[in-house]
Amino acid sequence: MKSESESSLWGGWLTGGDSLLEEVNASVRFDQRLAFQDIDGSVAHAEMLGESGVISAEDAQSIVAGLEKVRAEIGAGTFVFDPALEDVHMNIESRLRDIVGPVAGHLHTGRSRNDQVAVDAKLWVRDAVDRLDALLAATVDLLAERAETHHADVMPGFTHLQCAQPVTIGHHLLAYGEMFLRDRDRLRDTRRRLGESPLGAAALAGTGYPIDPAATARRLGFDSITRNSLDAVSDRDFVLDFLAAGATLAVHASRLGEELVLWSTPQFGFVVLPEDLCAGSSIMPQKRNPDLPELMRAKSGRVFGNLMAVLTVMKGLPLAYSRDMQEDKEALFDSADQLELIVRSTAAMLRGITFVPERTRAAAELGNTVATDLADWLVTERGLPFREAHSVVGGLVKWLGVQGLELRDATAARLADFDARLAGLPAEVLTVDHAVRRRRSPGGTAPELVLAAARELRRRNAAQPARPTTR
């Protein structure tokens, strides 16, 4: 049972609860991460109340001064969060009362924890978006840089993880550059859409005090205010937007993680992972395990789970606020934390890996990867319809395969022997360099296109500068 003073949280109407209520209900253990946003919101609200004449200017001033003291205590780590006070909002208000006395009671005029938590969470997501976006922007630049270096180095391109056609390492890296640039765009979209301040919606219906929500919105850096007070306190779309954008980002990092795991095996040997980012084995002395790429891959699981959790929490809730919505926080914080780790690991890997172009070239030469080029040659030089050329080369590959050969091993005489129309084939057509050089269609793998695309990616990335992160 709570003590007398703790149970007076609700002003005496409620007698106070069982300790189970505190255990289930209290959120301060995790929502203390909203503390600075909560103080920002309260400062803006108090100043607005003072300016609008809802409370006296002196009261507003002492409240703001008190809140700044609370902020300093939290910053210094001396603030003690008490679960008996439920959440971060009540903890801060209670400490404010200790510091400034009963005048603290004016702060909550025309406000509810419902619009308070909505505004805090929006401010928090905004900061999280900015932090993640800055990390992503740097990662895209890294991809462009590494792609420039390897714009002409050939590697196998796969479909179905079977040898398909040669591409360049730069081209492959730039594919991830496109993905991460889209992720930045999704984050920007999330940020734009959360630009409406809900502060002023109060519990659900608005308030009778002559408040000025546009003023608090401006102070807090919002673009505008919400249009409907019920929606303002019921809406967690901005959490879902962030979690969904993060889930897609996690897919991209996971796929890169998977490729790094594969590429760093001796069987592939396309890359050497940075030694300081590899883990060893407790029994096998030779091991150099790709733990970081594996976790880039695995962490996507909980990021997806967090999105599912909040979708599920929200889907059955009647308007307006329900306590269920408190369950969005741990999912939100966890995804934000994991996504930062994922992107930092991605950047560290991109910075630290060494490509082995001899290996990637040798691998690109395996598996008849120039078969399409040979078919194309039959089309352009011998006038065959593509379907027929496809069938000729398919037959040739099969015929050579039976003899334990691949296209690259076939002599001119052997080719002409198989089909007279292959006589006079320039040897170059069966090389991987020729294969990549001729793919000049927009977005193709030709080295000069890849070089230009890397520069263009850098330019597009810089065209949406990351915002300076404050927290």
d(CA 189, CA 195) in angstroms, rounded, equals: 10
- Check: CB of residue 126 under 8 Å from CB of residue 331: no
Contact 130, 43 (CB under 8 A): no
Give CA separation, 296 vs 178, 292, 300, 341, in Å.
Answer: 18, 6, 7, 8
- Residues 354-359: contacts with CB within 8 Å, 24+ apart? 354/271, 354/272, 354/274, 355/150, 355/153, 355/169, 355/270, 355/271, 356/269, 356/270, 356/271, 356/272, 357/150, 357/153, 357/154, 357/169, 359/268, 359/269, 359/270
Q: Tokens in use for 58?
A: 């002196």
CB closer to ligand ARG, 176 vs 321: 321
The nearest distance, CB 131 to ligand ARG, in angstroms, is: 22
Footprint of ligand ARG on residues 293-322 (CB under 6 A)?
Answer: 321
> Of the listed 3, 160, 282, 441, which one is catalytic?
160
Look at the block and give the residue holding tokens 């069982």.
18
Least CB distance from residue 321 to ligand ARG, whole Å? 5
Tokens of 442: 């927009």
160 given a catalytic annotation: yes
Among 117, 253, 429, 446, binds ligand ARG (CB under 6 A): 117
By C-beta, is 42 or 346 nearer to ligand ARG? 42
Instruction: Confirm or reject binding of residue 338 to ligand ARG (CB under 6 A).
Output: no
- Give the Cα separation of 34 and 26 in Å (integer): 14
| Identity of the residue, 30 or 158, whose beta carbon is nearer to ligand ARG in the bound complex | 30
Q: How far is the CB of 331 from ligand ARG (least distance, A)?
A: 12
Contact 22, 100 (CB under 8 A): no
Q: How far is the CB of 300 from ligand ARG (least distance, A)?
A: 26
CB-based contact 464:188 (threshold 8 Å)? yes
Query: Is 62 a catalytic site residue?
Result: no
Show the binding pattern over residues 128-167: x = contacts ligand ARG (CB under 6 A), - = does not: ----------------------------------------
Range in contact with ligand ARG (rule: CB under 6 A) among 72-80, 113-121, 372-380, 394-402: 113-121
Q: Which is nearer to ligand ARG, 164 or 317 (CB)?
A: 317
- Residue 27 contacts ligand ARG per CB under 6 A: yes
Q: Of 19, 56, 224, 281, which residue is the catalytic one?
A: 281
- For residue 374, CA distances in Å to 157, 392, 432 come to 17, 10, 11
CA-to-CA dists, residue 33 to 29, 268, 330, angstroms:
9, 44, 10
Nearest distance in Å: CB 108, ligand ARG: 12
- Residue 238 within binding range of ligand ARG, rule CB under 6 A: no
**Ramachandran area for residue 311 (φ above 0: left; ψ -120 to 50: alpha; else beta):** alpha
Stretch that binds ligand ARG, among 51-59, 109-117, 217-225, 286-294 (CB under 6 A): 109-117
Nearer to ligand ARG, 36 or 321 (CB): 321
**320 versus 407: smaller Cβ distance to ligand ARG:** 320
Residue from 113, 236, 421, 458 in contact with ligand ARG (CB under 6 A): 113
**Smallest separation (angstroms) from ligand ARG to the CB of 352:** 40
Report the distance separating Cα 372 and Cα 125, nearest Å: 49
Distance CA 347, CA 186 (A): 19
* 114 in contact with ligand ARG (CB under 6 A): yes
- Beta carbon nearer to ligand ARG, 87 or 241: 87
What is the number of helices (H) and of strands (E) in the chain? 18, 6
Within 84-103, the residues that bind ligand ARG by CB under 6 A are 87
Tokens 């910053």 -> residue: 75
Of 29 and 287, which CB lies nearer to ligand ARG in the complex structure?
29
Task: Check residue 360 for interaction with ligand ARG (CB under 6 A).
Answer: no
Of 207, 326, 338, 461, the one binding ligand ARG by CB under 6 A? 326
CB of 58 to ligand ARG, least distance (A): 29
3-state secondary structure of 402: helix
Helix (H) or strand (E) run with residue 95 in it: helix 88-100
Using CB under 6 A, list all residues that contact ligand ARG.
Answer: 27, 31, 87, 113-114, 117, 321, 323, 325-326
Residues annotated as part of the active site: 160, 281
